[in-house]
Amino acid sequence: MEFIKTITLNDMFTFIAYCQTELHASPGTRARKIVSIRQFWKYLKTKAHLIDNNIAEELETPKLPKRIPKYLSLEESVRLLIQCEESPRDHGIITIFLNCALRLSELASLNIDQVDNEVISVVGKGNKERRIYLTPAAKKSINKWIQI
């Protein structure tokens, strides 16, 4: 317990700098470490009542770069659809995935009652519901799959 009370904000900054320079930790990794430190110190103050001052509140997370989503080229998409033409189920899944911009988790949890002739109702991130209009290709593929 006495050791915890000797830790300063400068020690925390030094640790994060060490992670960056010596360990070559990415901004995401450093941000995760900072959040963990902050939560630990918050616990020490609010739940365990072992410290009076939460010095870790002043730690700021590094700016995280925006990542561009990975996607298939048009040629790769067409090749994928051709490969799964034998299976109406697989073709339907891939067609919906490519044409409706669904997340994998949204597609995996999709039920037939969420599919209308024109629209799919999807529950996405944050438990938010959104409606996605079906393209003609998606409608055709779904109808083939439903018939089977």
CA distance 120 to 68: 26
- Residue 96 phi/psi, 5-degree rounding, is -60, -45
CA distance 138 to 111: 15
- Are 80 and 66 contacting, i.e. CB atoms less than 8 angstroms apart? no
CA distance 43 to 53: 11
Domain 74-147, CATH 3.30.930.10 — does that match? Answer: no
Is pLDDT above 80 for 135?
Answer: yes
Is pLDDT above 80 for 117?
Answer: no
Please tell me the predicted confidence (pLDDT) of residue 30. 95
What tens digit of pLDDT does each residue of 38-97 get?
Answer: 999 999 999 998 888 899 998 988 888 888 888 889 999 999 999 998 999 999 899 988
Domain boundaries, the chain: 2-58, 74-147
Q: What is the pTM of this model?
A: 0.57
Question: Between residues 30 and 148, which one has the greater pLDDT?
Answer: 30
Three-state DSSP class for 80?
A: helix
